[in-house]
C-alpha cells in the first residue's frame, strides 16, 4: 500500500518545466497575436525629437535611432518570427512524416535512396543549406520559409523513420497486417498516433531552431527584408549603438532568449510528461 | 575491415552527391550570369565570347565533369565579381586562401575552449550531490543554449570590449602582421561561439555519466569498496566519454557553420563573411567552392568521429 502511495504522489508531482515553459510560450504567442491587430505606436512612425529615448512608461523598451517605438517593433517582429517558424516546422514535419513513414515502414531500395539523399542534405549544416537556397532563389520572406523548411526536413525524416522502424514489427502491427488492414491505414492510423510523444518534442526543438535560424538570416541581412521588423534585423541595426543605448540591443536580443528558453522548457516538460 | 571499406565507400558517395548538389543548385538560378557581369549594354559577340570563356556554352553534365576535374586539380575557377586587375579575373583560390586561416583558427579556438571547460564542468556536475549547484548549472546551461550566436557575440563585445576594454571591437589584427595579436582578437569571438557549446556538451556529459553510474559494474565496484572518486574517474568516465566524442564531432561541425554568423559580428575577414558577401552579390563560383569546402570538412569530421568511436570502443568493433 505504501509503495502504491509513493508512486501516486510521484505521479502528481508538479511538472515545473511544463508550467514555466507553457506560461513563457503563451505570453509570446499572446503578444504576437495582439501585435497583428494593435501596437502602442506605429512600427514605422519616426520621430526626430524622440531618438534614443531610454525605456519609460510611454516607451516600454525605449526608442531606436529613428525614434521608432522599440516595443511596438518587437511585438510585430515576434509575430513575423513566430509565423515563419511555425510554417517552417509545418512544412518540414509534414514532409518528414510522409517520407519517414514510407522509408521506415517499407525499407528496401526506396529507403536506401531516400536516406542517401537525406544524408547528403544533412551533410550541409542547416544554416549553410538555408544560405545556399536563399542564394539561389533570392532574399525575402517566402524564400526563408522554403530554405529553412528544406533544411529542417532531414531531421524530421530521421526521427519519424526511426520510430516507424521501431514499431513496424510490434505485435499489434503484425496482427493488423494479418487482419488485412490497408497499408496507408496501418501507417497513419495505427502507427502514427504512437509516435506523437517523441514527435512533439522534436516539433518544439524544431520551432526553437527555426526561430534561431530565421533571426540569424535576418541578422546577416539575407532574411526578411526591410521595412518589416524582425528580431534579427533589429539586432543588426542596433549593434552600432550598443554603448550609447544598450536597450536597443537588449530588447530584441532578450526577446529571442525568452522565446527559445520558454520553448526549451516546454519541450523538456513534454519529455518528462511522457515518462 | 569490411566495415571500413563500407564506410569509405559511403563517404565517397556522400561527397560526390554533395558536390553534384552544390553544382546543380547553381544551374537552376534564374537570370543570365553573363548579363549580370557585362551589364545590359554589351554586344552579343562579347557576351558569346565570355560565355565560351566561362564554359557556359556546354551542357551541364560536361560542365560538372570539367568543374569536378578542375576542383580535384586545385583549380577552383574565377570569381564573377572580384578582379585581380583590369584584364584578369580573380581566381577563387586566391580569394579564399588568405581567409581560410582566420576561420580555421577561430574554429580551433572555439572547440578548444569548449573542451577545456565543458568536460571538467560536466564531470563536476555529475559528481555533485549539491542540489543548489545542480539547479544553478541546469539554469545556466539551459540559458546558454537559448542565446543566438550573434546576440552572444554582441554581448561579448560589450562586456570584454567596451566595459572591460580587453580588446578593441572591430580592430582586427591580421595573422600575417602580428600572430599574437591575431589570436588575442580571436579569443573573444571564440568565447561567443563556445558558450552555448559548453552548455550542450556539459549537459550531455553529465547525462551520460549519470546513466553509466547506474550500471552493474559500478555496483560491483562499490561492493568491492572502491571510493566514489575512483569509481567516477577510473571506471565511469572512460565509458561516459565515448558518446561525448560523437557529440563533439557534431559540435565541431556546428562551430564551422556557426562561425559564419559570428565572423559578421566581429568583422573577421574569414570565409564566412566571404560567403555572405558572395551570396549577396550572386558570385556563384565563390559560393560553390565555399559550400563544397565547408561541407567536406563537416562530412570528414563526422567520418573521423565515427571511426574513432569504433577504435575506442571494442564492444562496437566486435559486433
Task: Give residue-wise pLDDT tens across range B223-244.
Answer: 888 888 888 888 888 888 888 8
The verdict on residue A167 lying in a domain is yes
Residue B225 has φ and ψ, to the nearest 5°, of: 95, 15
Whether residue A154 has pLDDT greater than 80: yes
Q: Which domain holds residue A172?
A: 79-256
Cβ atoms of B169 and B155 within 8 Å: the answer is no
Residue that the C-alpha cell 567520418 belongs to: B303
Nearest to B282 by CA among B19, B25, B16: B25
**Which CATH number is A197's domain given?**
1.10.3720.10
Q: Are residues B14 and A246, on separate chains, in Cβ contact within 8 Å?
A: no
pLDDT (average), residues B29-47: 69
> The whole model's pTM is what?
0.81
> Does residue A31 fall inside a structural domain?
no
pLDDT 10s digits, B90-137 = 787 878 888 888 888 898 899 999 999 999 999 889 888 888 888 899
Mean pLDDT of chain B: 82
CB–CB contact A235 B264 (8 Å): no
Which residues sit opposite B86 in a β-bridge? none
Quick one: cell of A185? 491505414
What interface predicted TM-score (ipTM) does this complex get? Answer: 0.77
Q: By C-alpha distance, which of A132, A128, A197 is closest to A160?
A: A197
In a domain, A274, yes or no: no
Task: Give the span between the Cα atoms of B145 and B152, in whole angstroms.
Answer: 10
User: Do B145 and B251 form a contact (C-beta atoms < 8 A)?
Assistant: no
> Hey, is the C-beta of B157 within 8 angstroms of any chain A C-beta?
yes
Interface touch A221/B280, C-beta < 8 Å: yes
Cell of B273: 563573411
> d(Cα B14, Cα B8) in Å, to the nearest integer?
10
Dihedral sign for Cα A235, A210, B293, B247, please: positive
Is there a contact between B298 and A123 if contact means CB atoms under 8 Å apart? yes
Q: Measured in Å, how far apart are chain A's first and last C-alpha atoms?
A: 22
The number of CA neighbours under 13 Å toward the Cβ of A90 is 7
In a domain, A65, yes or no: no
Residue B199: all three cell numbers together: 552548455
CA-nearest residue to B29 within chain A is: A136
Distance between B108 CA and the closest CA of chain A, angstroms: 18
Question: Does residue A74 lie within any of the structural domains?
Answer: no
B147 and chain A in contact, CB less than 8 A: yes
Contact B148 A215 (CB under 8 A): yes
Domain annotation covers residue A117: yes
DSSP label of A225 = P
> Do B291 and A134 make contact, defined as CB atoms within 8 angstroms?
no
Asked if the structure places residue A24 within a domain, the reply is no
User: Per the structure, how many domains does chain A have?
Assistant: 1
Interface of B with A in 241-270 (CB under 8 A): 253-254, 256-258, 260-261, 264-265
Q: How far apart are CA B61 and CA B65, in angstroms?
A: 6
Where in chain B does DSSP place strands (E)? 78-83, 89-91
Nearest CB partner across the interface for A242, out of B25, B158, B299: B158
Q: Which residue of A has its CA nearest to B300?
A: A123
Separation of alpha carbons A48 and A55, rounded Å: 17
Averaged over A237-261, what is the pLDDT? 86
- In this structure, is residue A152 part of a structural domain? yes
Amino acid at each position: 500500500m505504501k509503495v502504491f502511495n509513493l508512486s501516486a504522489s510521484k505521479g502528481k508531482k508538479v511538472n515545473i518545466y511544463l508550467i514555466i515553459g507553457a506560461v513563457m510560450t503563451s505570453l509570446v504567442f499572446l503578444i504576437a497575436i495582439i501585435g497583428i491587430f494593435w501596437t502602442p505606436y506605429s512600427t514605422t512612425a519616426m520621430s526626430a525629437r524622440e531618438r534614443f529615448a531610454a525605456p519609460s512608461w510611454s516607451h516600454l523598451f525605449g526608442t531606436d535611432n529613428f525614434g521608432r517605438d522599440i516595443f511596438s517593433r518587437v511585438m510585430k517582429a515576434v509575430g513575423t518570427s513566430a509565423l515563419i517558424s511555425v510554417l517552417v516546422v509545418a512544412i518540414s514535419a509534414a514532409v518528414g512524416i510522409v517520407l519517414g513513414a514510407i522509408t521506415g515502414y517499407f525499407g528496401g531500395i526506396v529507403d536506401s535512396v531516400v536516406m542517401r539523399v537525406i544524408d547528403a542534405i544533412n551533410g550541409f549544416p542547416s544554416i549553410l543549406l538555408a544560405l545556399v537556397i536563399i542564394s539561389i532563389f533570392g532574399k525575402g520572406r517566402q524564400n526563408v520559409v522554403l530554405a529553412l523548411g528544406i533544411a529542417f526536413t532531414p531531421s524530421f525524416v530521421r526521427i519519424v523513420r526511426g520510430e516507424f522502424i521501431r514499431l513496424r514489427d510490434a505485435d499489434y502491427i503484425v496482427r493488423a497486417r494479418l487482419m488485412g488492414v490497408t497499408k496507408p491505414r496501418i501507417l497513419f492510423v495505427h502507427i502514427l498516433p504512437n509516435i506523437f510523444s517523441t514527435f512533439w518534442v522534436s516539433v518544439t526543438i524544431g520551432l526553437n531552431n527555426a526561430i534561431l535560424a530565421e533571426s540569424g538570416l535576418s541578422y546577416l541581412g539575407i532574411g526578411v527584408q526591410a521595412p518589416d521588423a524582425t528580431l534579427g534585423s533589429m539586432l543588426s541595426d542596433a549593434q552600432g549603438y550598443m554603448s550609447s543605448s544598450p536597450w536597443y540591443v537588449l530588447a530584441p536580443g532578450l526577446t529571442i532568449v525568452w522565446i527559445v528558453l520558454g520553448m526549451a522548457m516546454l519541450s523538456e516538460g513534454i519529455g518528462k510528461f511522457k515518462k | 575491415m569490411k566495415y571500413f571499406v563500407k564506410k569509405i565507400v559511403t563517404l565517397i558517395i556522400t561527397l560526390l552527391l554533395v558536390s553534384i548538389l552544390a553544382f546543380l543548385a547553381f544551374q537552376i538560378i534564374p537570370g543570365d550570369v553573363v548579363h549580370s557581369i557585362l551589364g545590359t549594354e554589351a554586344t552579343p559577340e562579347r557576351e558569346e565570347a565570355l560565355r565560351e570563356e566561362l564554359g557556359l556554352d556546354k551542357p551541364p553534365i560536361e560542365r560538372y565533369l570539367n568543374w569536378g576535374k578542375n576542383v580535384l586539380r586545385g583549380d577552383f575557377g574565377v570569381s564573377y565579381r572580384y578582379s585581380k586587375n583590369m584584364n584578369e579575373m580573380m581566381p577563387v583560390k586566391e580569394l579564399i586562401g588568405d581567409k581560410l586561416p582566420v576561420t580555421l583558427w577561430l574554429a580551433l579556438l572555439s572547440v578548444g575552449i569548449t573542451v577545456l571547460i565543458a568536460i571538467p564542468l560536466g564531470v563536476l556536475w555529475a559528481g555533485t550531490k549539491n542540489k543548489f549547484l545542480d539547479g544553478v548549472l541546469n539554469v545556466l546551461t539551459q540559458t546558454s543554449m537559448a542565446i543566438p550566436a550573434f546576440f552572444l557575440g554582441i554581448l561579448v563585445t560589450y562586456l570584454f570590449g567596451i566595459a572591460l576594454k580587453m580588446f578593441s571591437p572591430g580592430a582586427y589584427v591580421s595573422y600575417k602582421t602580428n600572430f599574437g595579436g591575431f589570436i588575442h582578437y580571436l579569443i573573444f569571438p571564440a568565447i561567443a561561439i563556445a558558450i552555448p557549446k559548453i552548455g550542450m556538451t556539459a549537459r550531455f556529459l553529465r547525462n551520460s555519466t549519470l546513466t553509466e553510474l547506474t550500471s552493474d559494474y559500478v555496483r560491483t565496484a562499490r561492493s568491492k569498496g572502491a571510493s566514489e572518486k575512483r569509481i567516477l574517474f577510473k571506471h565511469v568516465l572512460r565509458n561516459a566519454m565515448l558518446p561525448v566524442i560523437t557529440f563533439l564531432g557534431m559540435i565541431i561541425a556546428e562551430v564551422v557553420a556557426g562561425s559564419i554568423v559570428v565572423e559578421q559580428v566581429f568583422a573577421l575577414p574569414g570565409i564566412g563573411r566571404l560567403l555572405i558577401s558572395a551570396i549577396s552579390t550572386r558570385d556563384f563560383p565563390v559560393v560553390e567552392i565555399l559550400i563544397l569546402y565547408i561541407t567536406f570538412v563537416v562530412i570528414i569530421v563526422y567520418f573521423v568521429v565515427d571511426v574513432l568511436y569504433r577504435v575506442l570502443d571494442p564492444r562496437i568493433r566486435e559486433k
